[in-house]
Homo-oligomer: A and B are copies of this chain.
Amino acid sequence: MKPIEYADSSPAVRAVYDDLRAVRKTDWINNFWKVIANEPATLKRTWESIKEVMAPGALDPLTKQMIYIAVSATNSCGYCIASHIAAARAAGMTDEMFGELMAVVGMANETNRLASGYEAEIDPEFKSA
């Protein structure tokens, strides 16, 4: 699907683009949004969900971006890794934080498979947790 540029966007798409620009305080729109704009309902729903989910709350925006990277690296989504590393850096992620993040992601992916392969049964203590 070809990316839909701002200049070529329908009113429904443009309304989302405008809100995205306002919330992010930049005119630049990355390719992810431009390709899903081919389905305006998906564009609108996804943007509204992301806006709600990534807003500051009990967790701060940087922590949320690092969680996003953790999931994207686990799924080997090249686009998502690149875009969320950029977003995390903009939110203050240092090289050291990225290094520790990836160290945890790596170990978690390792021990997930050790737990599965060794068929570890869930301790009763965790069930009442």
Residues of A within 8 A of B (CB): 1, 28, 30-32, 35-36, 38-39, 41-42, 45-46, 49-50, 52-54, 57-59, 63-64, 66-83, 85-86, 89, 94-123, 125-127, 129
| A58 CB contacts on chain B under 8 angstroms | 94, 96-97, 99-100
- Determine how close the nearest CB of chain B comes to the CB of A103; give it in whole angstroms: 5
19 sample A-B contacts, Cβ–Cβ < 8 Å, listed by A number: A32-B114, A35-B119, A36-B102, A39-B96, A42-B114, A46-B111, A54-B104, A58-B99, A64-B104, A69-B117, A75-B76, A76-B112, A77-B115, A77-B116, A78-B119, A80-B112, A82-B127, A82-B129, A106-B114
Main secondary structure of the interface of A (DSSP, over half): helix
**A39-B99, A75-B109, A77-B115 are known contacts; what are 17 more A-B pairs with Cβ within 8 Å?**
A1-B95, A31-B120, A32-B115, A39-B96, A42-B103, A45-B52, A50-B107, A66-B67, A73-B116, A73-B117, A74-B75, A76-B77, A78-B122, A81-B116, A105-B113, A106-B113, A109-B110
Q: Please state if B117 and A105 are interface contacts (CB–CB under 8 Å).
A: yes
| A38 CB contacts on chain B under 8 angstroms | 95, 99, 118
A117 CA to B32 CA, complexed, in Å: 11
